[in-house]
Amino acid sequence: MADDLLSQLKTMTTVVADTGDLEAIRRFQPTDATTNPSLILQAAQQPDRRARLAEIARGATDINDALDAVAVEIGSEISELVPGYVSTEVSARLSFDTDATLARARSLIERYGRQGIGPERILIKVAATWEGIEAARVLEREGIHTNLTLLFSFAQARACADAGVTLISPFVGRILDWHKTREPDADFSGERDPGVQSVRRIFEHFKGHGYETVVMGASFRNSGEILALAGCDRLTISPALLGELAETQAPLQRQLTPLDAETQAPEPQDEAEFRWALNEDAMATEKLAEGIRKFMADQRKLETLLGELRQS
């Protein structure tokens, strides 16, 4: 009988847990872990964290200080359970402000340093807007590793590679969502999935041109999307789908294989080219804006919770 799918996947792809749930991380033993405002909110709402959250909120200078303190505390706990990277996100409110993103990213790294966690363990997550990518370019030069998230288009991926970012998180499931609303009767299974096709194109372009930026598929809606990307550099997977893979015995074939670079990388895009290409991609434009709004909606909920605890 074949091994379970998760065990086989780990032999060809670095598996990353897309969660702030410490028990799930202990169970599935991923290499890395990613968080975002929605996942931090979920973790913060756990009853056993409430007393500590109140302590953080009361000791913070303002709500932004409290938000970052919570994110770093949860990230620090996660870092004890994984051997690799922990991704911590800069506020989505700063998605269009390069200077503010830089300041917040440096502050997060300093906070981790006070916990004894060096920058080599942390990926600063930033939305893949033009401003976010420009911030990442500077951070990488300073030795701060970045994870560019909310990535839906080839133009975003190219710009990230040109900027020398450590890792990108192209979203698979949200691309599928967009197409399903427009073609509800279409067959998007397996390699027909437009999100899978997007990641495959990015992966092949990066490997074919010698880019070092890591491709980490994210935002999966079903295990079929994950299996169709077996062999991708990294895949960040929710606990529910990790559990499904761990409980399924079936043979797994590698779908993506890194090839030696064959051609020189194209000239980098400038800002006008990037913005035009993104504007031409209706799906990416809509999903990027929607993603930023959704992350901010959950951040505001966490801000409200921390504000209430500051007064309690």
Distance between CA atoms of residues 50 and 302, nearest Å = 12
Per-residue model confidence as pLDDT tens digits over 71-100: 999 999 999 999 999 999 999 999 999 999
Q: How far is CA 26 from the centre of its chain?
A: 20
Per-residue model confidence as pLDDT tens digits over 226-280: 999 999 999 999 999 999 999 999 999 999 998 776 777 788 999 999 999 999 9
Distance between CA atoms of residues 20 and 38, nearest Å = 9
Confidence of residue 127 (pLDDT cuts 50, 70, 90): very high
pLDDT at 148 over 70: yes
Q: pTM of the entire structure?
A: 0.94
Q: Domains of the chain: which residue ranges?
A: 5-311
How many residues would you count in the chain? 312
Closest CA to 22 of 8, 43, 41, 5: 43
Which range, of 1-5, 110-114, 133-137, averages the lowest pLDDT? 1-5
In the beta sheet, which residues pair with residue 151?
Answer: 170
Is 5-311 a domain of CATH 3.20.20.70? yes
Burial classification of residue 95, based on how many CB atoms lie within 10 Å of its CB (0-12 exposed, 13-18 middle, 19 or more buried): buried
Distance between CA atoms of residues 56 and 77, nearest Å = 15
Q: What is the mean pLDDT of residues 175-182?
A: 97
C-alpha pair distances (Å), 264 with each of 155, 165, 207, 210, 211: 18, 18, 11, 8, 10
Backbone angles phi, psi at 81, to 5 degrees: -105, -15
What angle, 0 to 180 degrees and rounded to 10, lies between the N-to-C axes of helices 154-163 and 271-280?
Answer: 160
Find all residues with CB under 8 Å of 119, minimum gap 6, and list them.
109, 112, 113, 143, 144, 145
Q: Output the six-digit token pair for 190.
A: 């397996």
Confidence of residue 1 (pLDDT cuts 50, 70, 90): low
Q: What pLDDT score was predicted for residue 44?
A: 83
Confidence of residue 48 (pLDDT cuts 50, 70, 90): confident
A 10 A CB-CB count for 59 gives 11
Residues labelled as active-site residues? 125
Q: Output the six-digit token pair for 95.
A: 């998605």
